[in-house]
Chain A
């Protein structure tokens, strides 16, 4: 055995005290540190704030320009839809809900990982979340923005979008609150607002870091303005940490409710394939699954491009893969259970809806969903897969493809064969459908890239707080040893 870490005096029952040597744990029991190479807390500021300072790297422009072009495509398609009408899209009898609702559910599901990381992992005291929560929360906000576009534009007459909210109007009528679609309006707008508040509150101390490092007057002014005069006072930290805890506590039931209510848009109806009680938990698990897929898609290349491998370590990627595996397995279980209940219910329409998914005209969509969502995540059982960054990146994209097809299966396959064979049809998207969806990626990546350039992409103060240098009882934090 090596030198003991320290020696403490242990009181015996007899009253005599005896020295007890404490050794470091054997290597296989040691945890990987959250910040590697024993980086000091000043280094953390430099590394993270440095991303948003200095010259804009070439790869940023290479990514930014196509994103802006795609975003313009998105807005042009919306303009075209507004000027011509919803007939430019694919939906029509019997598939009255098409890509708009698929894209809405898909994007909002992606947002869920950000809130899971920032709120639920915070309540569970998972300290590794600090390296990824800021970027994941930004992803949430931008994904919810992309999601929010679709319900707004799918109403057809977009200029009446404000009728969704209880705002007094000249007709003296009010929204009808017994409809889950109305609940959805409240769930999604609350989700966006609270995610933004939570994100901004986490940013205040880090914007102060940017303010104190700023060299140009313009940066000093804007970072100074948005950091609200934060000084790092401990009396402020005390209120701040309490508010952060409360926001985490409020965001947790919020995120679980949002996709539950989205699922009620379907399950409260009486359509075979939609009318099931498993929907709320199944949708939430799927949302977290797809969201972690997107976090991995974004962060695996970014940690390399931004040279942040010491902060977003392989251990972080591995842990995210494990969450993907867990939620992916729940999703796989839900698929199996849906099929079982369809058979067990004895309802011929329900049975038909499910058999039609697997062997009907859209079977290709169903099997893409099964292979991407059920088989792909099972590869994350293997450490060799979880630590291979290229493979993780590719698999994370499969997760997102699979989750898009899950919503396609639920929306389109359930609708395309109505109870009466005379009402059967085959849905095809139009070029406007496809370009609008592609365009939302432009919107998402434009915002995400701007976020990388102007805001600290990792929670600086939080990462500092989980290093041993920040622990007043750790030798690296200045503790002198002896009792405490």
Chain B
């Protein structure tokens, strides 16, 4: 790991418009790069297919959260009101799924929402408060009005000279190496 400090993380190319970065991403995707990404101030419509990203898996986390919320709600109410501490209220049954439904509905939504947020953070490996790109001088513009394409040095197709030439040919005027 001692050598890592002098190694570079990747090559960063700056673009000025969403159309430029989109065409660049399509090209990089078609050339078969694996460890690369696009950084934009807002989600660009159509960028997922331009990068070849498949449908996000966040839905599964949310679904699991929702199922957990509903079943645990039903079990909790049944156990509390019919098993552990039964009280008769107005001749109603000790447990009925209809009366128990509203709290379970809310718990479905509550845990489904936790699933969506924390699933998103987990899939994105966030929070990550330290990232080589965040140290880069120009990268702060990625949240302002610039668009960046980064190819990591760990990509099998990466080559210091060829990749730079490729990014130049895609119309980037500003290409730099990012230190690890």
Contact = CB atoms under 8 A, between A and B. Distances in A.
Contact of A478 (B19, B80, B139): B19
B163 interface: no
How many of chain B's residues touch chain A, expressed as a range?
Answer: 35 or more
A242 B56 contact: yes
Contact of A177 (B25, B99, B134): B99
Interface in B90-145: 90, 92, 96, 99-100, 102-103, 105-107, 109-110, 112-114, 116-117, 119-121, 123-124, 126-131, 133-134, 139-145
Interface in A224-274: 224-225, 228-243, 246-247, 250-251, 253-254, 257, 261, 264
Contacts of A149: none
A231 to B, nearest CB: 6
Contacts of A242: 55-56, 58-59, 120
B127 A229 contact: yes
A469 B40 CA distance: 13
B43 interface: yes
B103 A186 contact: yes
A87 B39 CA distance: 60
B117 A247 contact: yes
A209 B119 CA distance: 23
B77 interface: yes
A137 to B, nearest CB: 14
B39 A233 contact: yes
B19 A477 contact: yes
A205 interface: yes
Contacts of B160: none
Contacts of A241: 43, 56
Nearest to A254: B109
B16 to A, nearest CB: 7
27 contacts: A40-B145, A41-B144, A42-B145, A166-B80, A176-B81, A183-B106, A200-B117, A205-B42, A231-B139, A234-B37, A234-B47, A234-B53, A237-B40, A238-B48, A239-B57, A239-B58, A239-B119, A243-B116, A250-B62, A250-B109, A251-B113, A254-B106, A257-B102, A462-B42, A470-B42, A473-B19, A477-B19
B151 interface: no
B44 A234 contact: yes
B13 interface: no
Interface in A344-369: none
B39 A232 contact: yes
A193 interface: yes
A177 B81 contact: yes
Nearest to B44: A472
A231 B143 CA distance: 8
A465 B44 CA distance: 7
Interface string A182-200: 1100110010011001101
Interface stretch (A155-163, A167-175, A320-328): A167-175
Given A42-B144, A194-B110, A176 B131 contact: no
A383 interface: no
B43 A465 contact: yes
Given A212-B140, A465-B43, A470-B44, A177 B103 contact: yes
A175 B143 CA distance: 48
Contacts of A243: 56, 58, 62, 116-117, 119-120
A304 to B, nearest CB: 26
Contacts of A194: 109-110, 113
A186 B131 contact: no
A225 B66 CA distance: 29
B42 A465 contact: yes
A471 interface: yes
A209 B144 CA distance: 7
A170 to B, nearest CB: 13
B97 to A, nearest CB: 11
A45 interface: yes
Contacts of A176: 81, 87, 89
Contacts of B48: 234, 238
B16 A201 contact: no
A45 B145 CA distance: 8
B7 to A, nearest CB: 20
Contacts of B110: 190, 193-194
Nearest to B17: A478
B18 A461 contact: no
B51 interface: yes
A175 B128 contact: no
Contacts of A479: 19
A183 B107 CA distance: 11
A183 B19 CA distance: 50
Contact of B127 (A228, A232, A238): A228
Interface string B131-172: 101100001111111000000000000000000000000000
Query: Which of B105, B106, B140 is packed against the most chain A CB atoms within 10 Å?
Result: B106
